[in-house]
Amino acid sequence: MAARRRTRPGGFKKDSWSDHYTHAAQKTGYPARSVFKLQEIQRKFRLIKKGRRVLDLGCAPGSWLLYAAELTGPRGWVTGLDLKAVTVSLPPFVAAFVMDVFSEDPADWDAVGENFDVVLSDMAPDTTGARDVDAARSLQLCDQAFSIAQARLTPGGSFVCKIFFGADAKAFTETVAEAFAGVKLFKPAASRKASREIYIVATGKK
Ligand SMILES: C[S@@+](CC[C@H](N)C(=O)[O-])C[C@H]1O[C@@H](n2cnc3c(N)ncnc32)[C@H](O)[C@@H]1O
């Protein structure tokens, strides 16, 4: 099925895990606390610049989309995709598609486009609580995000990917490192200490 564009205004669900960052996000108008993780990544690595094109994989409920759009400004372009619809109101230069990152429908990918300067993946599987299962599912999403980054990033572009650290995460990081000039691992302060999530930040696509 072809991707459908969703830019309807509307509300958002409260995170079940309510903490300092959740309240702060809600106060500043973002639908999820995850915005603070991208803000920290941006402060440290300065990946998203005015006028650039950003692809956000796993973009719902839309915090990263909104923050990336502030950084690119209207001369840039931000595209997101997620299994779930984004219901917050988005600027006209932001498009959010309801689709699976594993979609094999070329019409979906035509709609998403290519030649992005930055590919972000904050995708997370539905967690089971079983560490190995969750890490394996996270790795599948990371592998797919990496394939998309390779196909749709411009040379010199950047890739940010959340991964649940597990047995194969090191090998994945090494694979990413071969395709980029630089790779760092980054754990934002806004990420719960108990969570095994970490962000791979790769710059300078070869
Ligand atoms: C932590 S949330 C992303 C939050 C987002 N960065 C924000 O700031 O609003 C992870 C998202 O990954 C999405 N996701 C998981 N598997 C996916 C898949 N196969 N295709 C597309 N999105 C997926 C989920 O639906 C979920 O909305």
Average of per-residue pLDDT values in the chain: 90
Closest atom, ligand 1, to C-alpha of 59: 5
Annotation says 205 is catalytic: no
- Whether residue 123 has its Cβ less than 6 Å from ligand 1: yes
- Residue whose CA is closest, atom 10 of ligand 1? 123
Helix, strand and coil content of the chain, in percent to the nearest 5, comes to 35, 25, 40
Tell me: pLDDT of 9 over 90: no
- What is the CA(171)–ligand 1 centre distance, in A? 23
Contact 145, 63 (CB under 8 A): no
- What is the CA(79)–ligand 1 centre distance, in A? 14
- Whether residue 122 has its Cβ less than 6 Å from ligand 1: yes
Tokens of 177: 């490192």
How many DSSP H helices and E strands does the chain contain? Answer: 6, 8
pLDDT at 12: 37
pLDDT at 5: 45
Q: How many CB atoms lie within 10 A of CB 77?
A: 20
Q: Which of 36, 59, 78 to mutate to test the pocket of ligand 1 (most atoms within 8 A of CB)?
A: 59
- Domains in the chain and their CATH numbers? 4-205 (3.40.50.150)
pTM above 0.75, yes or no: yes
Q: For residues 62 and 88, what is the distance between their CA atoms, to the nearest angstrom?
A: 7
Lowest mean per-residue pLDDT among 48-52, 55-59, 80-84, 126-130: 126-130
Return the CA Rg of the chain: 16
**Average pLDDT for 87-113:** 98
CB half-sphere exposure, 169, CA atoms < 13 A? 19
Instruction: Give the pLDDT confidence of 36-56 residue by residue, as tens digits.
Output: 999 999 999 999 999 999 999
